[in-house]
Structure 1
Amino acid sequence: MRTELVSEPGDPDRPNEDFAAVVLPASGQGGALVILDGVTPPRDGTGCLHSVPWYVARLGGALTELTVSRPDVPLAGALARAIARTAEAHAEACDLSHPRTPQATVVTARWSPETVEYLVLSDSALLVESSEGSVTAVLDDRLSRLPRSALATDALVDANVRNKEGGFYTAAADPSVAERAVTGTLPRATVRALLGMTDGATRWVEKFREGDWADCFRFVRKEGAQALVDRVRELERRDAEKRAYLRRSKTHDDASVVYAEL
């Protein structure tokens, strides 16, 4: 089995708000990958004493452990338990009802000798290569389908669309959000490899239009996960002044990539 993992902060002077892991249980009968992208908080606070990296480390660690230790629990159930466990760790000291309580996007996949399960929540991505070589992008596109007017300000987003019906969802403090994730199960024999990415890495496709999802998958398989992040950084630097592609987005974002050949 070949696996690769890369996670780089957008700014070396700021903590990386991503989490990335790939695990191979001692049984040797399968594995899992977990990727979280912490939501950068607004300047006026989150109602929480803890940082986004603290939250992402807690949630990512809990989810990684649960995907391995409880193979009998579906991934949505594992995510719900991980969210609940993380919420319990700071519920007494923090306002978990605040719309910007620390939160994250989630991608996870788990494989056994029989199946490959997957879960995607919010705007990170999972690419699945079939045994025949075709590539399918598993996406939660609710955020991208919202009108720009709904996303004009943080206040509008928090009041109307963040973790609300008709809007988009992230993993925050409410375990029930796990049921909103995009999930599925595939026969193991039909899956050759998986590629999970936070949106700092999916910029290769979604902002800079270097190719489609299949092109992105082939690039990582040939050149490696680090090469994808390096290419995104190069494109960001080129566009930093004119912002033809980046527009109002931050110049550099945390970028994580996990690649696993099954």
Structure 2
Amino acid sequence: MRVAFASEPAYPDRPNEDFIGATADAVVLLDGASIPPGITSACSHSVRWYSHTLGSTLLAEMTQSAGPLPELLAQGIKHVTSLHDFTCDLTHGGSPSATVIMLRQTADHLDWLVLGDSTLILDTRTPNPMVICDDRLEQVAAPHRTRLDSLPGGTPEHAEARRQYVETLGQYRNRDGGFWVASTDPLAADQAFTGTIPTDGICAAALLTDGAADAVNRYRLTTWRRLLGTLAQDGPAELIRQVREAERSDPRGERWPRSKPHDDATAAYCCPSEGVLGDPVEALASGFRDEFERA
């Protein structure tokens, strides 16, 4: 599997809490959940430590085992929890957490897992690619965003509203009726979206943290089909550049209300092994033709 990826922190002087890693047969993407000022945690470890430790653990597991992806995720969460359950109070709701995407290629199929609001795109040779995103966070969050979205970014009022918003969402994390992410409870892996698809039906895949998927979801800069074209022709860094340009044009969130001016952004573009799948460039061209004909 050929993989190209780019990752950029929200700000140059802050750590990137995303994780991206790949082998010849597997890709893992995590988006660590930032903790805003004013929220305390009983865990002494950073969000970056959590996302990078879990991400590297999952990648190692996927190269050593052909087990079901939810099982590997549960094992990975359990392992990382064991690294700090004697030094940190992991019963506290502020323990670090992350979304997870896992993609694994075998000789004749692709296995995938999505937990949290990162986005997996599978180019299935049809006009509309398959887009998988766990939207349970958005369903829970929408009713609580009204005040936050009404305030201009960069103000003390907006910062306080964001703190209250994140604290409120913490009450819904990893519980029935709420949303699920990787944190301290391995049972969260059972809540992931999963699937298997024959490799001869896929010509490419893309993995995006929400900071990169905002190109479509928030800023409406493009469509999923055209986003795949950008990744194939210009590379993941170009997609992130376009997102940053949109964000810089609206620093206070007046056109596009949001929690923070910038977010960590990571994008990966994968072409499964040559000879297994068809030509991704031709598939993209076919998709563009179909999109043009529908317009």
Pairwise same-fold verdict (TM > 0.5)? yes
Q: Which moved more, 1:201-210 or 1:147-156?
A: 147-156
Task: Determine if the alignment matches structure 1 residue 116 to structure 2 residue 110.
Answer: yes
Moved segments of 4+, more than 4 Å: 131-134
Higher helix fraction: Structure 1 or Structure 2? 2
The one of 150, 163, 166 aligned to 1:154:
166
8 Å contact from structure 2 (residues 141, 169) kept in 1: no
SS in 2 for 1:239: coil
8 Å contact from structure 1 (residues 21, 33) kept in 2: yes
Q: Whole-Å Cα distance in 2 between the matches of residues 169 and 59 of structure 1?
A: 16
How far apart are 1:2 and its partner, in Å? 3.5
The one of 8, 33, 41 aligned to 1:39:
33
**Paired position in structure 2 for 1:28:** none
Q: Which moved more, 1:95-104 or 1:234-243?
A: 234-243
Opposite residue 7 of structure 2, the aligned amino acid is S
How far apart are 1:248 and its partner, in Å? 3.3
Gaps of 5+ in 1: 25-30
**Paired position in structure 2 for 1:11:** 11
Task: Determine if the alignment matches structure 1 residue 236 to structure 2 residue 259.
Answer: no
How far apart are 1:146 and its partner, in Å? 2.4
The one of 40, 47, 55 aligned to 1:52:
47
User: What is the Cα-based RMSD across aligned positions, in Å?
Assistant: 1.5
Q: Whole-Å Cα distance in 2 between the matches of residues 147 and 242 of structure 1?
A: 18
What TM-score does the superposition give when structure 2 sets the normalisation length?
A: 0.82
Task: Determine if the alignment matches structure 1 residue 258 to structure 2 residue 268.
Answer: yes
**Paired position in structure 1 for 2:59:** 64
The one of 80, 90, 95 aligned to 1:86:
80
8 Å contact from structure 1 (residues 22, 258) kept in 2: no
The one of 184, 198, 203 aligned to 1:173:
184
Q: Whole-Å Cα distance in 1 between the matches of residues 90 and 177 of structure 2?
A: 22
Q: Which protein shows a greater Rg?
A: 2
Percentage of identical aligned residues: 36
How far apart are 1:33 and its partner, in Å? 0.7
Q: Which moved more, 1:144-153 or 1:47-56?
A: 144-153
SS in 2 for 1:145: helix
Q: Which moved more, 1:147-156 or 1:161-170?
A: 147-156
Higher strand fraction: Structure 1 or Structure 2? 1
Aligned residues: 253
Residues 182-201 of structure 1 correspond to what in structure 2 (within 5 A)?
Answer: 182-201=193-212
How far apart are 1:150 and its partner, in Å? 4.3
SS in 1 for 2:203: strand
CA gap 1:70/1:11 in 2 versus in 1, 3 angstroms:
same
8 Å contact from structure 2 (residues 210, 265) kept in 1: yes
Q: Residues 204-225 of structure 1, C-alpha deviation per residue, up to 9 Å, x if partnerless?
A: 0011001222221122112211
8 Å contact from structure 1 (residues 130, 191) kept in 2: yes
8 Å contact from structure 1 (residues 128, 195) kept in 2: yes
CA gap 1:222/1:133 in 2 versus in 1, 3 angstroms:
farther
8 Å contact from structure 1 (residues 3, 261) kept in 2: yes
Q: Whole-Å Cα distance in 1 between the matches of residues 170 and 110 of structure 2?
A: 34
Q: Whole-Å Cα distance in 1 between the matches of residues 144 and 250 of structure 2?
A: 26
